[in-house]
A and B are shown apart, each in its own frame.
Chain A
Amino acid sequence: MNWPRTLRVFFMRGSRARDVAEELRIHLQMATEERVARGEAPDEAAANARREFGNVGHVSEATHEAAGAIWFERLVQDARFGIRMLRRTPGFSFVAILCLALGIGANAALYGWMEGILLRPYPGVANQERLVAVAGTDKGSTQPAELSWLDFMDLDRGSTLFDSFIVSKIVGTTLTSGDRAERAVGLMVSPNYFDALGVRPVLGRGFTPDEATGMNGHPVTVISYKEWKERFRGDPAIIGRKQIYNSVPHVIVGVAPEGFLGTFVGYAMQFWVPSSMQAAFNAEGYKLDDRGARWIEGFARLKPGVTIERAQAELSAVAKRLEVDHPDVDRGRGVVLFPLWKSPFDNAQNLLPTLRVGFGVVLFVLFIACANVANLLLVRSFARRHEMTVRLSLGAARGRLIRQLMTEAVILALCATAGGLLVAYWCRNALVLLFPSQGGVSYSFNGAFDWRVVALSATVGLVSTLLFAVVPALQASDIDLAGALKSNSRSATGNRSRLRSLLVLVQVALSFVLLVGATLVLQSLKRMRDADPGFSADSVVTTAVGLFAAGYDTTRAKPFDDQFLQRVRSIAGVEGAALARSTPFSTRPYDEGPIAVDGFDVGTDERPTASYNEVTPGYFATMGIRLLDGRDFTVSDDEASQPVAIVGEAMVATYWRGTNPIGKRIQVNGRWRQIVGVAKDIKFGSLLETTRPLFYVPLRQKFSTQVALFVRTPHGPSALMPALVREIHALDANLAPYEVITLREQLDRSTAAQRVAVTLLTVFGALAVLLAAIGLYGVMAYAVSQSRREIGLRMALGAAPMHVLRLILTSGLSLTMIGIGLGAAAALGSTRLLGYMLYRVSPLDPVAFGAALVIMLIAALIACVSPAWRAARTDPVGALRE
């Protein structure tokens, strides 16, 4: 095609049309004049000339077409034709669109999740691309830490590249309804929170600067839209009413806009309180005056155009100054910025590896689907060879035919994209179904479904479909006219069937990789379930009573705890009961503190830390944690007696080099304790972690009103529940337990990310195998139909049907085996990417590869059986006569 000319004509379409019209007008004028000269009447002459000419309009149109200028009209024409062709073969169209829709839908759903969970996780917040998470660091530790209020404020004051620093710390409280206590989640925020995020309360106001500090001086709250609608039934006079959190009445000053869920991936926030109320939500007291008390999680908003690197450099400099100014607490502490998708504070981190793997998986599925469609198009193009031949010989240009075929592919892709987006829209909130709710608080993982997701998915869908469709289109239009007309020759199909086999190879290989991935993750999950966390997960039930939330102080809580434990232990079937500050595998991390050990020297800047748990006597027996040496805590290890501790094996190995530590001393938070026992190590943060240093102190010696109850019982939580409620009510009718669950349940919840990975990989792996099997079936069925004569000949020459059956099966399975070989090579190189989703399973696990091989072969066998059967039943006479 003459592009410059086409483009020129396209842009001068109007003048070209005028040009043609002028030419034709002149022609008619000349013809009329000649007729008049011959003696016709002028009117008659004009009419005759016009009639003789034919349809004037038609010429101008055709002329446009030749120049390629009315491409749009032709597009409509092509589209109409394409739709007609697709409707003529509804089976083909349905399968093709379904395959593509699933592939595109999987992509769109994943993009939606990535957008909604990682990239723009906070609906209703303006300019999220400029938000970064701010965390503290400790020398020698890779774990991001929290920040103290005073340090946070100094970061704000000492920097210039930021619009604002925003405190956003998740807090919980108990809202009692009936005889069940309900947990509610909220955020403790700096007063600039709503303004800095660009969120405007629909009723009332946000917080004012004076509400930042002053211990419990400003009991005000902004509630979520959902709370307002549901708990308060949309009361228009809600502002000024009071809501009790942790026994402190808070005045409701505002209602957040609908759809604003706060700034914490994983939960939809129910309320917000200003930072001055910190002590009301934390039993450890007021921390805003204490530079050493680190509790703040927060964000900073970068000024437009500032990169995170520049911002980091500036903050690091500020942190350096803080180290110098406050060496007693800030030495060795730094600040680190994270983009939102890497924020260490919320649940985005849990899903990041899964979504990353998912991203690769959905691309695989899409390619497999596209390969299928390309295969279907190839078969179809052969079926339409006659149509193509006729159209070519009638003078249609090859380009025109290719365009026609591509138009059909575009229509397929458009239908499939629409279908895929619909699938994705339905699935956008499906991720949360894999996460059980916790104590009345539901997880919230919402996929976004904005224009970015739609645009990206549509682009990926269309581009990949067209890439795969262009080969069949080129093939279809590449017809040797003479050959095609001369005979119904089959020689031309060799090339095409090679191409189709290649597509099947790719499909098998890709599905094999997915299968291996799925089996690996499945094995990991099973191993996780079987893994020993170091305590008896199945026979221990846990719950909590929110004493702090109910307004108990230490003096009231201590006798309550004693009586409560006594009553629980007397419940029939209870084998042991204890209280502890921390619950293994819960979302709240164990307390952690700086330690010092007699005889263990550290560098001046280093300060070793260890996690610890505050427990009552009987904790180890209840939990089933073995004491390896020494004794358990007793009731006489109280406030008045010598401070003691029980250490885990990992600590013994690190700090006493394996020698017996009993009788030695350990300093915790500046207080020396004598070691009285050694406990077996347990996992308490995640099953994936290596054992971390952990020790125990008596609850009485470091008291907390926020503790959990652990009960050893052979009966499940539901059997325990009524007795438990009875005993609690006997002590205080206003109290109620949180949800009662086994530690197994608690453990399972911590593997949610793995379960999501398993579900995704299994679903997509199955989908991939199904698609690959369809592709293989198509190729085999087609090959059989093409070689009917050959098969007939063989049978006429004495080949038994069984022999033919075996022949076809062998050729199908050898195709599969080559694909599996390719897939295995790819899998060997890529399963390492599953990284820490694998638990005690090698990325090269032979069992996983073997299982994938078996599944793939079975699928291939099923796909080949029917074509092979048909081949075996070929009637030799009929086949040869054709």
Chain B
Amino acid sequence: MPTDYSLIQGTLDALILKTLMWGPRHGYAIARWIKDASGDALDIEDRALYLALHRLEDQGWVEAEWGVTDAKRRAKFYRLTTAGRRQLRSEVDRLASYTEALFKVLNATTSQTSGERA
């Protein structure tokens, strides 16, 4: 059983968009890829994944189309749109600055800040 990291709000969208950067995938493949890429650390709840996919589709960041898998199976494929690509970039920037700030705090070595009473 992998460690259960609760996904931080708002990051799932970024993960999905990232997954689709290399080409269209169907839902199951997306879930597998995130799981594999995170070294099994991120196991996305399937239900949340589909909710997110349909939401992204409504936002116009991904497009869905029925297609055929390598195993000749019918499946719905999601493809990143131009708007989605833009969204991914801004999400990555946002998360990067967020985590940077987060770690600055968490890794702080001194209790001194400029505004604190002596």
Contact: A63 with B50, CB < 8 Å?
yes
Tell me if A26 and B73 are in contact (CB < 8 A). Answer: yes
Q: What separation, in Å, do the CA atoms of A2 and B50 have in the docked complex?
A: 20
- Smallest CB-CB separation from B48: which chain A residue? A54
Which chain B positions have C-beta within 8 A of A56?
A: 47
Q: A30-B28, A53-B46 are in contact. Are A59 and B76 (CB under 8 A)?
A: no
B58–A54 contact, CB under 8 A? no
Q: How far does the alpha carbon of A22 sit from the alpha carbon of B76 in the complex, in Å?
A: 9
CB distance from B79 to the nearest CB of A (A): 15
With the chains together, A31 CA to B73 CA distance in Å?
A: 13
B27 touches A23 (CB 8 A): yes
| Given known A-B contacts A31-B28, A52-B46, A26 and B76 have beta carbons under 8 A apart | yes
Q: Is B86 an interface residue (CB 8 A)?
A: no
Please name all residues of chain A whose beta carbon is closer than 8 Å to the beta carbon of B45 when the two chains form the complex: 53-54
Give complex CA distance A20, B54 in Å. Answer: 10
Enumerate chain B residues within 8 angstroms of A2, measured Cβ to Cβ.
Answer: 58, 60
- Determine the distance from Cα of A54 to Cα of B48 in the docked complex, in whole angstroms: 9
Interface residues of B in 25-60 (CB under 8 A from A): 26-28, 45-48, 50-51, 54-55, 58, 60
B: contact size bracket: 10 to 19
- Is B47 a contact partner of A55 (Cβ separation < 8 A)? yes
The answer on a CB contact under 8 Å between B28 and A66 is no
**Docked pose: A52 CA to B50 CA in angstroms:** 13
Contact A27 B58 (CB under 8 A): no
**Contact between A27 and B46, CB atoms less than 8 A apart:** yes
Q: B54, A63: Cβ atoms under 8 Å?
A: yes
CB of B58 within 8 A of CB of A66, answer: yes
Give the residues from 19 to 44 in chain A that come closer than 8 angstroms, CB to CB, to chain B.
Answer: 19-20, 22-24, 26-27, 30-31
| Interchain CB contact under 8 A, A54 and B54 | no
Find the B residue at minimum CB distance from A49.
B46
Q: Is B7 an interface residue (CB 8 A)?
A: no
- Specify which chain B residues have a CB less than 8 angstroms from the CB of A54 in the assembled complex: 45-48
Interface size on A, residues (CB 8 A): 21
| Interface presence of A466 (CB below 8 A) | no
- The B1-31 residues at the A interface (CB cut-off 8 A) are 26-28
Quick one: given A2-B58, A31-B28, A62-B54, are A26 and B74 in contact (CB under 8 Å)? Answer: yes
Establish whether residues B47 and A58, one from each chain, have CB atoms under 8 Å apart when the complex forms.
yes
The winner among A22, A27, A52, A56 for most chain B CB atoms within 10 A is: A27
Produce 1/0 per residue, A7-25, CB < 8 A to B: 0000000000001101110
B96, CB-defined interface residue at 8 Å? no
Inter-chain contacts of B28 with A (CB < 8 A): 26-27, 30-31
CB distance from B84 to the nearest CB of A (A): 15
- B92 at interface, CB cutoff 8 A: no
Min CB gap B69→A, angstroms: 9
A852 CA to B13 CA in the complex, in Å? Answer: 64
CB pair B50–A24 under 8 Å, yes or no, is yes
Can you name 16 extra interface pairs (CB under 8 A) apart from A19-B76, A55-B47, A56-B47?
A: A23-B76, A26-B26, A26-B73, A26-B76, A27-B26, A27-B50, A53-B45, A53-B46, A53-B47, A54-B47, A59-B51, A62-B51, A66-B54, A66-B55, A67-B54, A67-B58
- Contact sample, A vs B, 28 pairs, CB 8 Å cutoff: A2-B58, A2-B60, A19-B76, A20-B50, A20-B54, A22-B76, A23-B27, A23-B50, A23-B75, A23-B76, A26-B73, A26-B74, A27-B28, A27-B46, A30-B73, A30-B75, A31-B28, A31-B46, A52-B46, A53-B46, A54-B46, A58-B47, A63-B50, A63-B51, A66-B54, A66-B55, A66-B58, A67-B58
A residues at B contact (CB < 8 Å): 2, 19-20, 22-24, 26-27, 30-31, 52-56, 58-59, 62-63, 66-67
Binding site for A on B (CB under 8 A): 26-28, 45-48, 50-51, 54-55, 58, 60, 73-76
| 3 nearest A-B residue pairs (beta carbon) | A54-B47, A53-B46, A30-B28
